[in-house]
Amino acid sequence: MANFPTRRSVLTTGALASLLPLDAALAQVPLNPTPECHDSDTATVRQTEGPFFKPSSPERADLIEPGMAGPPIELVGFVLTLGCRPVPDAVVDLWQADDKGDYDNSGFRLRGHQRADAEGRYRFRTIVPGAYEGRTRHFHVKVAPPGGRLLTTQLYFPGEPKNRKDGLFRRELLMRTAKKKGSLAGRFDFVLDMR
Ligand code: FE
């Protein structure tokens, strides 16, 4: 925890308590900083959804299926308001390329959604997507708060050589990542444009 800034001053006690286990996997090594939620902060940057979104993905946190290639990653974080309050029941919908950079457009491989818990936490277990023609490595995400405006965006990996060459890349959308026992952990908190 000491290696990167936290929102501890603005989070409620309950949310802070839940932040500790969430960050445990990420606290092992220094992490690249990503924008944090502050009272005056702006919402998470919006990005285009691209050509491969499919509605009605399965509700699941684990996208890894038997025989699936690619390094595993656990992606965790909070869904928060501009005031850093959790957004329980926000639907987080993730879709991505496989390790070769291909999307499953006939089925729902590497597609899934889940609801943030009472403290706004979400968690996915998946693989690191492959970069494909013209794009650096990225996840696609839609975050839908109950009764609020949908956020569509993309998440990026720190240290990718292709980040600099991808016109869509935004450093505000970098995950913090850390290696732990050969596996990768990623952290990103979504800040929705709502109070
Ligand atoms: Fe894509």
Spans of the chain below 70 pLDDT: 1-41
* Predicted TM-score (pTM) of this structure: 0.84
Residue type at 139?
F
- At residue 83, the pLDDT reads 87
93 CA to middle of ligand 1, Å?
A: 14
CA–CA distance, 143 with 122 (Å, rounded to integer): 11
Residue type at 83?
G
136 CA to middle of ligand 1, Å?
A: 9
- In tens, the pLDDT along 111-137 reads 999 999 999 999 999 999 999 999 999
Q: Which fold has domain 7-23+32-191?
A: Protocatechuate 3,4-Dioxygenase, subunit A (2.60.130)
Ion ligand 1, residue ranges at CB < 5 A: 50
- At residue 34, the pLDDT reads 54
- At residue 75, the pLDDT reads 96
Beta-sheet strands, E only, within 18-110: 72-80, 91-95
CA 169 remoteness from chain centre: 15
138 CA to middle of ligand 1, Å?
A: 6
1 CA to middle of ligand 1, Å?
A: 31
Domain ranges of the chain: 7-23+32-191
15 CA to middle of ligand 1, Å?
A: 32
